[in-house]
Amino acid sequence: MSREQRGPNEKLGTVLALAGISNAGLARRVNDLGAQRGLTLRYDKTSVARWVSKGMVPQGAAPHLIAAAIGQKLGRPVPLHEIGLADADPAPEVGLAFPRDVGQAVRSATELYRLDLAGRRAGGGGIWQSLAGSFAVSAYATPASRWLITPADSSVAREANPGEGTGAPQKVGHSDVLKLREAAEDARRWDSKYGGGDWRSSMVPECLRVEAAPLLLGSYSDEVGRALFGASAELTRLAGWMAFDTGQQEAAQRYYIQALRLSQAAGDRAYGGYVLAAGMSHLAGQLGSPREITQLARAAQEGARDQATATARAMFNAAEARGHAVLGDVRSCEAALIRAATEMEKQEPDKDPEWISHFTPAYLADEFAHCYRDLDRPRQAKDHAERALAGHAERHVRRRAVDTVLIATAYAQEREVEAACAAGTAAIDLLAQLRSHRGVEYLHDLDRRLDPYQETVAVRGFRERLGRLAVRQTAAVAA
């Protein structure tokens, strides 16, 4: 469906000609990108002709998918205004700013909380359905560089403006901050056990809107404010991670940027590095930007050098290794892995903040397994994945499922089809306990690797089980 016509869209026609994309070609690309995001689109060359010649504006996610499709062909991001569709974006800049002023940072974060929750309550995918396809790794450039070169805010003390909130301004104390910390601890536990799509995990945006936002808009001293920004940064990053785990990349990107800015206000360089290396870089990798993985991980290492513990430094180096592995750079990858292992040997768990406590030797082995999978070294990948699986606690269901898929993938790379399907089926049983889009994506990657053996009994059985899991996961998200 398209909105009313506005006259020819000359900008779209010009960019299509520049990219060398026909009307039918654009329609096909948009439909394919929509299918990757779970959307059923049926555009054809006539649809595109209407967009160009009559200026009709497609609704929902289509404008962003058009920009993404053209951007893939041109090899660069294409903003909506360049193709004459800027007015199709309901909130183009929400959550993407990294304000220099701390007051503006509060408004940027709380506006994101408000908009996200309003969209969820509206149903139908809300704001993120409209912004589907708008993710651009280039949006990280300004936040990452500002974080890297800008010192912490000189003061974050605040006197509330009665007109900013929905009720009377709050005087914030340490007990209020403690409640947010406890909420973050609960959220980490829920996410690990149930996945980002579980109803428990989905309470994090609600907590940000109902609990964190009024506190951020309240009155507090510099000391309390630093702690408040730190706790809010942690919850905001968790909201980003859970969005990532449910396939909402556009939401994840915005939450990560706001978490980075909040960590800056908290004066917590180590946590800012964690947002870059564990959040932004992983999202960039998932969406096919391996060079940005290494750049963001290196920014984390440089910017948090004086504050990060050995465990955090190990994680930052492991994140860098992941980028090198995807690029096929064996030497750089193994050098980063050696640095990660060296830092891990210095680990002092009693000195680690809670947010990095999950990064155990088992988790590092998991990082090694990912790297060797991408370097097409299945024996080493399987050895490290088995070590990781043996070290993870039973409650870390998603991580155990991922390592099981990594083992299955290694078998597939070695052409041991029955072993690959057996391990893949075991992973399905684990993922059935979760609501995790990202976990299912690991299985789809394994499934693609099994294509050459699709006629075997083992692969047919695995695919039948995978199909049932996908139906359950989709039904759960829709609910």
Rounded CA gap, 257 and 467, in Å? 35
Q: Is domain 10-88 in CATH 1.10.287, yes or no?
A: no
275 and 256 Cβ atoms separated by less than 8 Å: yes
407 and 444 Cβ atoms separated by less than 8 Å: no
What is the pLDDT at residue 124? 43
pLDDT digits (tens, 9 = 90+) for 233-276: 999 999 999 888 887 888 899 999 999 999 999 999 999 999 99
pLDDT digits (tens, 9 = 90+) for 345-380: 999 999 999 999 999 999 999 999 999 999 999 999
What is the pLDDT at residue 123? 42
Task: Give 425's pLDDT tier (boundaries 50, 70, 90).
Answer: very high
116 and 205 Cβ atoms separated by less than 8 Å: yes
180 and 231 Cβ atoms separated by less than 8 Å: yes
pLDDT digits (tens, 9 = 90+) for 21-30: 999 999 999 9
The phi and psi torsions of 219 (rounded to 5 degrees) equal: -110, 140
435 and 427 Cβ atoms separated by less than 8 Å: no
DSSP string, 341-368: HHHHHT--GGGS-GGGTT--HHHHHHHH
The structural domains of the chain, with segments of one domain joined by +, span 10-88, 360-479
Rounded CA gap, 317 and 131, in Å? 32
What is the pLDDT at residue 478? 44
Rounded CA gap, 252 and 282, in Å? 11
Q: What is the mean pLDDT of residues 275-298?
A: 92
Residue length of the chain: 479
51 and 2 Cβ atoms separated by less than 8 Å: yes
pLDDT digits (tens, 9 = 90+) for 100-131: 999 999 999 999 998 776 555 444 445 555 55
DSSP string, 181-223: HHHHHHHHHHHHHH-TTSTTTTHHHHHIIIIIHHHHTSBB-HH
Rounded CA gap, 108 and 298, in Å? 26
Q: What is the mean pLDDT of residues 4-15?
A: 82
Rounded CA gap, 301 and 147, in Å? 12
Rounded CA gap, 450 and 419, in Å? 12
Rounded CA gap, 294 and 290, in Å? 7
Say if 10-88 and 360-479 have the same CATH topology: no
87 and 133 Cβ atoms separated by less than 8 Å: no
pTM of the shown model: 0.80
The phi and psi torsions of 3 (rounded to 5 degrees) equal: -80, 180
* CA torsion through residues 130, 133, 134, 139, sign: positive
Give the CATH number of domain 360-479; options: 1.25.40, 1.10.10, 1.20.1300, 2.40.128: 1.25.40
The phi and psi torsions of 95 (rounded to 5 degrees) equal: 80, -5
